[in-house]
Homo-oligomer: A and B are copies of this chain.
Amino acid sequence: MLYFENDYSEGAHGAILEKLTKTSMEKLPGYGADHYSESAREKIRLSCGCPGAEVYFLMGGTQTNAVVIGSMLRRFEGVIAASTGHVSVHEAGAVEYTGHKVLELPQKEGKIDAGTLKDYLQNFYGDENHEHMVFPGMLYLSHPTEYGTLYTRQELEEISRVCRSYEISLFLDGARLGYGLACRESDLDLADIARFADVFYIGGTKVGALCGEAVVFPEKAPAHFLTMVKQQGALLAKGRLLGIQFDVLFTDDLYRKIAGNAIEAADRLRGIFREKGYRFLLDSPTNQIFVILENKKMKELGEKVVFSFWEKYDDSHTVVRFATSWATSMDEVEQLGRLL
């Protein structure tokens, strides 16, 4: 069986496991106060060009979204997100559990544009009843989006400008950020993101770690953020587990290198699909490929390959997703190619 179901099917990159093993008997303080976590934070600050950034490590994407949103919003505020955003659809109401509404905006290929955002904010404050409504307090973007698409530097800059003029924070969910950074089509680097966003995270779970997301506040974390992390049950006793992983990922550019592997594999796979005449649902340059399969083909292929059902296309076609990862080998891609 070939696996292209998602980007979290394997354990962790070998270098991570090696370091976890080698350091295991060192006695270290808990809750992220160990020197590996500090080293990881320092490397991330450097990569982001933010010597004063505050960096925290959390376990996974939904947790990170709930903690960041729940700790940065004021009580009467909600978070704006694309209607296809992960927080809007696939987090079992984790944001609402913190008491905040997700204010859904229309999207295109998973992206929100600055104009739509501005109109929304303008209308909100223009409505004389807005004190009876949920105040927009933050914009949530995913980059890459749930459709594997990317914001350009200019798009992000414009969005950031709108956010700042309305004094709402900009939060970028980077669960798959590595794959965005490694993408030739992208003109954004970590320093850009740190300049445009008020908070963002660098995903580990989907890019080579056993678990872990590095939350970066380029300026300043909310006061007593650690206590709020604990309050949401997200403070890990053995913080070393996260610190060591990110320390390894940010040594010798490993994070970008292994993300690059996924992109190369995806590029090759896209090429094969294209050559063989398959249609794509949309153009996405990262590690997720959305293909429109004839139902019979889908069934046949499903016997030898694991992929994800995405949505019904029409009566005889279905959209499915193939994902590559830091661990996908070119050999697997070629094997899949031979089945297409």
The contact of A11 among B66, B74, B240, B306, by CB within 8 Å, is: B240
Task: Kindly supply a per-residue 1/0 record for chain A positions 95-133, scoring 1 wherever the CB is within 8 Å of any chain B CB and 0 otherwise.
Answer: 011011110100000000000000000000000110111
Give the residues from 7 to 27 in chain A that come closer than 8 angstroms, CB to CB, to chain B. Answer: 8-12, 14, 17-18, 20-21, 23-27
The contact of A205 among B62, B99, B238, by CB within 8 Å, is: B238
- Name the CB-closest residue of B to A129: B90
| Known A93-B101, A102-B101, A233-B62: A76·B11 in contact at CB below 8 Å | no
Give the residues from 212 to 256 in chain A that come closer than 8 angstroms, CB to CB, to chain B. Answer: 223-224, 226-228, 230-238, 240-241
Q: Is B205 a contact partner of A237 (Cβ separation < 8 A)?
A: yes
- Consensus secondary structure, chain A interface: loop
Q: Is B230 a contact partner of A132 (Cβ separation < 8 A)?
A: yes
Number of copies: 4
Flag whether A28 is at the interface (Cβ < 8 A): yes
Chain B residues with Cβ below 8 Å from A97 are 99, 231-232
Flag whether A279 is at the interface (Cβ < 8 A): no
Chain B residues with Cβ below 8 Å from A240 are 11
A309 CB, nearest partner CB in chain B, Å: 7
| Known A234-B233, A240-B11: A76·B92 in contact at CB below 8 Å | yes
A169 CB, nearest partner CB in chain B, Å: 16
Chain B residues with Cβ below 8 Å from A71 are 75
Q: Is A93 a contact partner of B89 (Cβ separation < 8 A)?
A: no
Flag whether A63 is at the interface (Cβ < 8 A): yes
